[in-house]
Structure 1
């Protein structure tokens, strides 16, 4: 019996991109997919686009929420699959046979993960994420940054719990670390599994996100270790931009 995958899409006022995301899920060659869409009471025509496909969705909710992680918790509460995958509006499952390939890599893993390709707002490829997915992933793997994107990780639903709503911007990091601590089998698919739309988070939100991330890493890795790890992060970031500036010159 093929494991059932619950794919959850969160959307709010994104008529421009939602259809791409929906089709990347509904057109998968893998047949045991339950698709849950949570719309935050969009007012820009997003809901009309979703409703074109309502007959093929397992669940559709359109109502106001208290932010992205509240919406994601609603999706988790409705999911009934063996595994869950968040594929939020604007992002795509990499190819139409990706889910099939992911589950073919190994039976019954707690977590499957892979690589992500980045895209700009005009859907031009920006290549691989700066943080490459680690060869081996554990709960300690995020100490130098979020090395696996949220869209590139398939998680056994029995290991999940609601997102911690004290975090407004980085609850996904806390959520994945918690789950990875409980997981006994984590499989690197060695596949590109997701296309990620690079978002335009404001500088203020980005700063808040970094503060939250630092707090989360303190909790899991300890203050001193986290401080040292952030020196390494800063060095790696500087080296990355220097290298790419030279490449572009």
Structure 2
């Protein structure tokens, strides 16, 4: 039976409202071969007290100042020792208690596993599937029209991961996944929901900077002219999605 060790990494800073939901979704998995790593940015709002409640279920924990989310995520990667890694940051959750077991039951020894994501509103209500539906098949070229797989829904063989590129403050996760996918020989679509994603975050608050970073990442990986063309396609698809949903709501 395929039973790899999974390192689940949670990054948190002053998120006392959501951290327990995330921790619960990890420690309540039916799959038991999990190494849970939490990297805290020296919270002072009660987050540490909640983490303390689960200390016997957490393999590695640090609380110290960092230089931003990707610095913290690099610290988590450095601490991880599992065969695979996934980031389930504060506010995000595994879809249900069977998620990890279902992921590894979907195929043996893949380099990457991925699935679909449900969006969750600030009040905890479901907003349904992401606009970017997970593709039936995924390769490193699959992000040319946008991030079609969310960060919380992709499991990567740890030996294929590299540190996050900290020149990008908001979109380094796209670059990180592309770099790993370029090395992957076997990529498995789990064909189920695997994560719940709390919408918002800095990439939404600093949307312009995020778009500039994404354009640079895509230009470096796919070339300038294809990236310009692909952005016209992205703009058209976004406009059509908005128009279709406005008609539905009217």
TM-score, scaled to structure 2 = 0.98
The alpha-carbon deviation at position 76 of structure 1 amounts to 0.3
Q: Name the SS for the 1:172 alignment partner.
A: helix
Q: Name the SS for the 1:146 alignment partner.
A: coil
Alignment of 1:193-204 (within 5 A): 193-201=194-202
1:224 matched residue in structure 2? 225
The alpha-carbon deviation at position 31 of structure 1 amounts to 0.5
Cα distance per residue 1:127-150 (max 9 Å; x no partner)? 000000011100000000000000
1:151 matched residue in structure 2? 152
The alpha-carbon deviation at position 116 of structure 1 amounts to 0.1
Cα distance per residue 1:84-134 (max 9 Å; x no partner)? 010000000000011000000000000000000000011000000000001
In 1, Cα distance between equivalents of 2:90 and 2:140:
27
Query: How many residue pairs align between the two structures?
Result: 249
Residues 112 and 202 of structure 1: CA distance in aligned 2, closer, same or farther (over 3 Å): closer
The alpha-carbon deviation at position 202 of structure 1 amounts to 7.2
Q: Does 1:99 align with 2:127?
A: no
Could you tell me whether the CA contact under 8 Å between 2:146 and 2:234 is conserved in 1?
Answer: yes
Alignment of 1:3-152 (within 5 A): 3-152=4-153
2:162 matched residue in structure 1? 161
TM-score, scaled to structure 1 = 0.98
In 2, Cα distance between equivalents of 1:70 and 1:198:
21
The alpha-carbon deviation at position 201 of structure 1 amounts to 3.6
In 1, Cα distance between equivalents of 2:113 and 2:204:
32
Residues 200 and 33 of structure 1: CA distance in aligned 2, closer, same or farther (over 3 Å): closer
In 1, Cα distance between equivalents of 2:201 and 2:179:
27
For structure 2, list consecutive stretches of 5 or more residues without a partner in the other structure: none
Q: Name the SS for the 2:133 alignment partner.
A: coil
234-243 vs 204-213, greater mean Cα deviation: 204-213
Q: Name the SS for the 1:144 alignment partner.
A: coil
Q: Does 1:191 align with 2:201?
A: no
The alpha-carbon deviation at position 66 of structure 1 amounts to 0.3
For structure 1, list consecutive stretches of 5 or more residues without a partner in the other structure: none
Cα distance per residue 1:161-204 (max 9 Å; x no partner)? 10011110000000000000000000000010000000154766
In 2, Cα distance between equivalents of 1:143 and 1:2:
33
Q: Name the SS for the 1:123 alignment partner.
A: coil
Q: Name the SS for the 1:188 alignment partner.
A: strand
Cα distance per residue 1:28-75 (max 9 Å; x no partner)? 000100000000001111011001101110001000000000000000
- Please list every run of at least 4 consecutive aligned residues from structure 1 whose deviation after the TM superposition is greater than 4 angstroms: none
